[in-house]
Chain A
Amino acid sequence: MIRQKIFFAAFLYGLVFESFGFLGGGFYLLPALVTAAIFNSLVFTWQSVNFIVSWISGVLILSLWSATLNNWNLFSYKFAAHIFIYFFILLVILYALDAKKEQS
Chain B
Amino acid sequence: MIYLQNKPSRQFRWCAGKPSRCVFIVFWAALVALVFFNKTNALLHSAFVGTAAFLLPDRVALEESKNNLLSMMQIRQVVLDNKKLREALGLSEKHRFIPARVKFDGGYLFLDSILINEGLNAGIKEGDAVVTENNILIGSVSSIGKNWSKVKKTGSLGEKLTLVASDGQAAGVIFEAVGLGGGELIAEFPITLQSPIIKVGDTVRWGQNNDFIAGLVDNIDFNENNSLDRATIISASPLFMAEVMVVSENK
| Chains A and B are bound partners | yes
CB-contacts of B124-158 with A (<8 A): 142, 150, 152-153, 156-158
B48→A78 contact, CB < 8 A: no
- Complex formed: what's the CA distance from A30 to B17 in Å? 24
Q: Determine the main DSSP class of A at the interface with B.
A: helix
Expressed in whole angstroms, the minimum distance between the Cβ of A36 and any Cβ of chain B is 10
Q: Which of B24, B104, B108, B112 contacts A22 (CB 8 A)?
A: B112
Contact of B14 with A76 in the complex, beta carbons under 8 Å: no
Tell me if B35 is interfacial: C-beta within 8 Å of chain A: yes
A81 near B108 (CB under 8 angstroms)? Answer: yes
Question: Using a Cβ cutoff of 8 Å, how many contacts connect chains A and B?
Answer: 112
A side interface size, CB within 8 A: 39
Task: Please tell me if B199 contacts chain A, counting CB pairs below 8 Å.
Answer: no
Chain B interface, number of residues (Cβ within 8 angstroms): 43
Known: A15-B35, A26-B36, A70-B158. A20 touches B182 (CB 8 A): no
**A82 adjacent to B109 (CB under 8 Å):** yes
How would you classify the secondary structure of chain B's contact residues: helix, strand, loop or mixed? mixed
B17 touches A15 (CB 8 A): no
Q: How far is the CA of A35 from the CA of B153 in the complex (A)?
A: 28
Q: Are B180 and A70 in contact (CB under 8 A)?
A: yes
Contact with B along A1-44 (1 / 0, CB 8 A): 11010010001000111111111111001100100010011000
Closest B-chain residue to A37, C-beta based? B14
Flag B23-39 by CB within 8 Å of A: 1 or 0 each.
01000100110011000
Which residues in A have some Cβ–Cβ distance to B below 8 Å? 1-2, 4, 7, 11, 15-26, 29-30, 33, 37, 40-41, 66, 69-71, 73-79, 81-82, 85-86, 89
